[in-house]
Amino acid sequence: MRLELKDLKEGLLEQEYSCGSKDFPVLSELADEADVRFREPLYFKLRLQKTGQIVEVDGSLSAAVGLKCGRCLQPFEQQLAADFALTFSPLVEREEDAAEEVELEADELGLIYYRDEILELREPLQEQLIMSVPIGPCCQEKCQGLCPECGTDLNKAKCTCAKKPFNNKFGALADLKVEKSK
């Protein structure tokens, strides 16, 4: 997942990538820790344009991902699609102690530094994948979620909890807190 500047003939290159999850190590962490499971292939389309030493990338990604609904906790599949833009700039070698400063500067400007005429795409593409994952995944707009009292999936069945007076659990919790603070 790297490109050499010399591949950009006439300063322009269109490139498509069809990748596996193993190309992006963070994705397996996401699967383990956040129940976000990317399906293969992960598809990228990039258009790179070089102006001087700056390389601008217009990209899009599409991938299917298995998520867990935040309301009913059921797994579901969602198609992700996102457009993004990246700017690569050559890293100008500086004093050792200025390295941190350079990184901060790059973050502020939204630049990705490259060195030795090679653009490393893995990290920035991985970041785009992660950013395309919805923060509060929901299986459907009308998802009713789980009953907080008895755990019934309200998309599938009704329960009678809502009819009970509101609500013993919170009362008990409040008592507990008073107890503790004594």
Residues that bind Zn ion (CB under 5 A): 69, 71-72, 139, 143, 147, 149-150, 152, 159, 161
Query: In angstroms, what is the minimal distance from the CB of 79 to Zn ion?
Result: 17
Distance CA(48)–CA(159), nearest Å, equals 56
Among 82, 10, 73, 3, which residue's Cα sits nearest to residue 42? Answer: 82
How far are the Cα atoms of 107, 150, 168, 169 from residue 174, in angstroms, in the given order? 46, 20, 10, 9
Query: In angstroms, what is the minimal distance from the CB of 176 to Zn ion?
Result: 22
Distance CA(76)–CA(6), nearest Å, equals 43
Query: In angstroms, what is the minimal distance from the CB of 158 to Zn ion?
Result: 8
Beta carbon nearer to Zn ion, 8 or 159: 159
Distance CA(142)–CA(178), nearest Å, equals 38
Query: In angstroms, what is the minimal distance from the CB of 80 to Zn ion?
Result: 18
Query: In angstroms, what is the minimal distance from the CB of 65 to Zn ion?
Result: 15
CA angle, corner 37, sides to 33 and 38, nearest 5? 135
Question: 127: burial class by Cβ within 10 Å (0-12, 13-18, 19+)?
Answer: middle
